[in-house]
Amino acid sequence: MIEFEYAAALKRLPEQFFAQLVKKTQNLIQQGHDVINLGQGNPDLPTPDFIVEALQRAATHRKFHKYAPFQGFPFLKEAIADFYQREYGVEVDPKTEVAILFGSKTGLVEISQCLLNAGDKVLVPDPGYPDYMSGISLAGAEAVYMPLKAERQFLPNYQQMAATDLEQAKLMFLNYPNNPTAATATKAFFDETIEVAKRHHICVVHDFAYGSIGFEDSKPQSFLQSEGAKEVGVEMYTLSKSFNMAGWRVAFAIGNPSVIKALELIQDHYYVSLFGAIQMAAKEALDHGQTAMEQLNRTYRERRDTFLQAAEAIGWKGGTAQGSFFVWMPVPKGYGSEAFADLLLEEAHVVVAPGNGFGETGEGFVRIGLLDEPHRLQEACQRVGALSVF
């Protein structure tokens, strides 16, 4: 058997930090242990029935059995524009300011291929969603990390960044509500970001994956609600989390027309377009999903409250949980992130994600996914409490 050599771009892809954790978890489950898995970001609840039924109906339409039009059906782009108008009071032109994506992970990887050349600098949150690095590595670009610290509510501090990094950066990734820190952003922060981006000619990509999951008085801020956002960037929104549609692979980018055009160009070459029936079901979700989204938000809020109360009862305090379905918890004194996550896995059979897997600045924290029923979250805390580490 010939073992073919991989292209340099493929060899540059970062290792999957969490692959090891997944393996260890599976081993424990295979050994018959009752594992509470709060380590991953895969929504545990089903897609609402009305969306599944829309797919079932649409799957019988012959027009969807053909290739969908390049760049997607106008009906979905129009539904996306209506959704943003209703949810955020933001106006976008469905013809030039919306691109349909195969899940936002795909768009987040593609954008680096669209805008970066080898050696270009990119500003990346640390800690942050690891897949930003995939596109950056494929493009041969260089990541410059923006530390997200508790004392700054996990927002990057542009004042403290090297002037040369800002001058040279071509792209910036942001994500609020944030994975993994569960922090949210303010309008003032996005306004400042736009100013910085204009001054330094940086394209901003705001990853709004958890846009519908927020626990403060007002719903999470869209980047496009800030004046001038479209001039400097795009927002990516996925149906994976808002409507429990992670397996469906449907998301969209909206904003700056030149960036939208670039995303559509690369997708023309990779894919043609999403299965038309999925596009129809996505339209149904966006048009009629308000109640389902609100219900899901209440579910996560209840889980968050249950978890934080149970954690407090065992002396585990200081977590952040403003939005997303994560809680970002500090580790007890004397432990690093990985050592603590290993302890919980091995001794309590509770899986959490070590914070340093999301970047250096994540050291000292673990990420808890609120992706199980409240009684299981309580039980996880009780098992951790029994270790007497707090």
Ligand X SMILES: Cc1ncc(COP(=O)(O)O)c(C=O)c1O
Nearer to ligand X, 166 or 361 (CB): 361
Contact call for residue 325 and ligand X (CB under 6 A): no
Determine the size of the site formed for ligand X (CB under 6 A).
Answer: 13
Helix, strand, or coil (residue 367): strand
**Identity (one letter) of the amino acid at 297?**
N
Least separation in angstroms between CB 10 and ligand X: 20
28, 59, 246, 266: which one binds ligand X (CB under 6 A) = 246
- Residue 362 makes contact with ligand X by CB under 6 A: no
Show the tokens assigned to 98: 């919306």
207 binds ligand X (CB under 6 A): yes
240 binds ligand X (CB under 6 A): yes
- Residue 272, strand partner residues: none
| Most distant CA pair in the chain, distance | 62
Contacting ligand X (CB under 6 A), which of 77, 105, 206, 304? Answer: 105
Cα–Cα distance measured from residue 55 to residue 52, given in angstroms and rounded to the nearest whole number = 5
Tell which residue, 219, 232, 142, has the closest CA to residue 185: 219
179 is an interface residue for ligand X by CB under 6 A: yes
Distance (Å, rounded) from C-alpha 234 to C-alpha 174? Answer: 11
Regarding 248 and contact with ligand X (CB under 6 A), the answer is: no
Q: Is 103 in the site for ligand X (CB under 6 A)?
A: yes
Q: Report the residue from 73, 84, 129, 223 that binds ligand X according to the rule CB under 6 A.
A: 129
At residue 174, the 3 state secondary structure works out as strand
Member of 137, 175, 222, 297 binding ligand X (CB under 6 A): 175
Tokens matching residue 136? 């950056």
State yes or no: residue 90 binds ligand X (CB under 6 A).
no
Interface with ligand X in residues 41-60 (CB under 6 A): 41
Burial class (CB in 10 A: 0-12, 13-18, 19+), 130: middle
Please choose, out of 100-108, 222-230, 339-347, 377-385, the segment that lies near ligand X by the rule CB under 6 A: 100-108
Nearest approach in angstroms of CB 173 to ligand X is 9
Which residues have C-beta within 8 Å of that of residue 36, sequence separation ≥ 6?
349, 350, 351, 372, 376, 379, 380, 383
Does residue 323 contact residue 220 with C-beta atoms inside 8 Å?
Answer: yes
- Residue 237 in contact with ligand X, rule: CB under 6 A: no
What SS3 state is found at 353? strand
Chain positions contacting ligand X, by CB under 6 A: 41, 103-105, 129, 175, 179, 207, 209, 238, 240, 246, 251
